[in-house]
Amino acid sequence: MAEAYDPNNVFAKILRGELPCKKVHETRHCLAFHDINPLAPIHVLVIPKGAYVSMEDFSAKASAEEQADFIQAIGETARIVGAVAGGYRILANSGANANQEVPHLHMHIFGGRYLGRMLKKEGE
C-alpha cells in the first residue's frame, strides 16, 4: 500500500507560500528551487505542484500534461542552473529503503563537480 500524502510536508508548505524557497524555475505544474542543504555545487529540486508522494504515485495518477511538464521542467532547470555542460545526475528517492525524507515527489538535480559512482558495489 502506498504512503498517504501528508499536506503538511515541507514542500506542500513551500507550494502554499508558508515557507520560503530560492526559486529557480516555475511552470504551471512544477516548481524548481535550490536545496537548503546542498550536497554538490549545483543541487536543486524539481517538484510537481500536485499532491504526489512518489514517482509510482505520480505516474499512476498525474495527467499526461502534468507528467510532460515535470520532465520538461527537469530539463529546463538543468539548463538554467548550468548543469548540462559538465554533466549532471537526477535522482528521486521513493520510500523507506531509498531514504525518502519528504513524502512529496521531488527530483534532485546534482552537478557542478565530479559526482563519482551512484552506488558502491557490495563490499566496497
Active site residues: 106
Question: What per-residue confidence (pLDDT) applies to 1?
Answer: 45
**CATH number where 33 lies:** 3.30.428.10
For the entire predicted model, the pTM comes to: 0.93
Sheet-wide strand order for 42-48: 23-26, 30-34, 42-48, 107-111, 88-91
Classify residue 100: in a domain, yes or no: yes
> Cβ-count burial of 61 within 10 angstroms (0-12 exposed, 13-18 middle, 19+ buried)?
middle
**Could you report the per-residue pLDDT of 65-90, keeping only the tens digit for each?**
999 999 999 999 999 999 999 999 99
| Host domain of residue 44 | 10-111
